[in-house]
Amino acid sequence: MEHHHHGAHRVDLVVYPGFKALEAIGPMSVFDYANVHLRQKGLPDGYALRIVAAQQGLVQSDTLVALQATHTLADVEQDAGCTVLLVGARNIATVLPDSGALVDWVARVAPQVARMIALCSGSFFLAQAGLLNGRRAATHWSVAQELQRSYPQVKVDADAIYVRDGHYWTSAGVTAGIDLALAVVEQDFGHALALEVARDLVMYLKRPGGQSQFSVQLASQSVQHSGIGMVQQWVLAHLDQAMPLALLAEKAAMSERHFRRVFQQEAGCTPSVFVENARLEGAKQLLETRGDLPLKTVAAKVGLGSEQALRHLFQKRLGITPVAYRERFGD
């Protein structure tokens, strides 16, 4: 769905002392590059960016970078037809108790703005304001449990890269903010422009909003149950083989039913989803590093049987073909 705004759409990036610099600069770059590409097409800028804080002036981030706030929270409140981007903090637990005024402001402004976006741990500000009750939300994986525990009415999706629920958008950490900003550009100006911006940023358009924040290898290292962990390591080492549930259960010395239940509990997904994730990741790795391999060989090496099955998996999970993936990421 493409919308072409009359004039530039205002994006107000809200910062406060100790905000995460990378989280502010990533999305800012996305909107900036979108303007560059629109200008190259002879079109007006799509976005007017402003840095907003409680007061005007320099606001120090969690690094050496400081951003110059040109507008105040009060300015936004008087004219709220914009997209607000609320940046996360490295240590939200210490920032949140001192942020009563910001939380109150969010509660007042959020219902009026076109899009209310909270990046990473910024979702805590929205949750504290009561805006996420009954809504789905994403946040950084390291604080997902804390968000769910503190705000039980929020439907926390711990694996999502970003989530859109109505005009509320939330994201996981750092690079996920870029994914989310690309999704905003796509919503406003269509897929082609978002893809051009992604190419500029050497980002990959687009990890779907629901894709897990973890790689399969990382996930397999965090399992407590030794039997399940052993099966996962076997899967990763034998991607070229068929993996019926019966075989995996046998390796764990469990009945199929018990194995499926314990696996789901430990890994947060079914055995078949884990295997699919592993095959996809294996294929991505081969496409990135082995430009000479025919696609049917890539498919065989990761147990997908045919080039068609490989194409189907890439289209389903990543929205692009293996050929397009290799063009973007191959050495």
DSSP 13-60: EE--TTB-HHHHHHHHHHHHHHHHHHHHTTPPPSEEEEEEESSSEEEE
> CB under 8 Å, gap of 24 or more: what pairs does 229-232 form?
231/263, 231/271, 232/267, 232/274
pLDDT at 125: 93
Residue 124 three-state SS: helix
Q: What is the pLDDT of residue 219?
A: 53
- pLDDT value of residue 7: 72
Q: Say what the pLDDT of residue 203 is.
A: 59
pLDDT at 205: 47
Alpha carbons 331 and 323: distance in angstroms, whole number: 13
**Structural domain boundaries of the chain?**
9-200, 216-329
Residue 217's pLDDT is what?
A: 53
CATH of 216-329, one of 3.30.110.30, 1.10.10.60, 3.40.50.720, 3.40.50.1820: 1.10.10.60
Question: Do the domains spanning 9-200 and 216-329 agree at the CATH topology level?
Answer: no
**Contacting residues for 146 by C-beta, under 8 A, at least 6 apart:** 93
pTM of the shown model: 0.65
Given a contact cutoff of 8 angstroms between Cβ atoms, the answer to whether 118 and 143 are in contact is no
pLDDT at res. 6 = 55
Residue 228: Cβ within 10 Å count: 23
Q: Which backbone phi and psi does 207 adopt, to 5 degrees?
A: -65, 120
CA 63 to chain centre: 22
Q: For the domain 9-200, what is the CATH code? A: 3.40.50.880
What pLDDT, on a 0 to 100 scale, did the predictor assign at position 230?
A: 86
CB atoms within 10 A of CB 81: 10
- pLDDT given at position 119: 92
Low-confidence ranges of the chain (pLDDT < 50): 1-5, 205-206, 213-214, 218, 221
